[in-house]
Amino acid sequence: MMLTRSVVVVIRFFRGELLLGSAEAVDGEPIVETAKRAGVDIPTNCTSGTCGTCLVRLKEGNVSYPEPLPPGLDAELVELDGILTCCMLPLGTCDIDIIPPL
């Protein structure tokens, strides 16, 4: 009998180089919810990717980008590692800088 190990996905939240907190991601849950459990406040407004209020920078790791990109995100912001935490899911352990790439 083989035991299956589930992969633990952890998201760490930074402001620049300062670690603000970390929490285990829950499958299917947007990054902003993980931030709340880590005690990190990321402002949101629309929760659908339209307004861009929750824009942050992905320092390390991968997230799922919706196709087409939501109105709050464009190709230039993606090139600068911008992600919208209200509607994007981690694809593994990630480091997030809450300072947006602007």
Given this model, what pLDDT does residue 102 score? 75
Q: How sure is the predictor about 27, in pLDDT bands with cuts at 50, 70 and 90?
A: very high
Domain residue spans in the chain? 28-97
- Give yes or no for residue 30 having a pLDDT over 90: yes
* CATH no. for 28-97: 3.10.20.30
Q: How far is CA 25 from the centre of its chain?
A: 10
CA 46 – CA 17 distance, rounded (Å): 28
Given this model, what pLDDT does residue 99 score? 96
- Give yes or no for residue 4 having a pLDDT over 60: no
- Give yes or no for residue 3 having a pLDDT over 90: no
Secondary structure class of 99 (helix, strand, coil): coil
Q: How sure is the predictor about 21, in pLDDT bands with cuts at 50, 70 and 90?
A: very high
pLDDT in tens, 39-62: 999 999 998 999 999 999 999 999
Residue whose tokens read 């880590």? 38
The secondary structure of 3-49 as a DSSP string is PPPPPP-EEEEEETTEEEEEEE--TT--HHHHHHHTT-----SSSSS
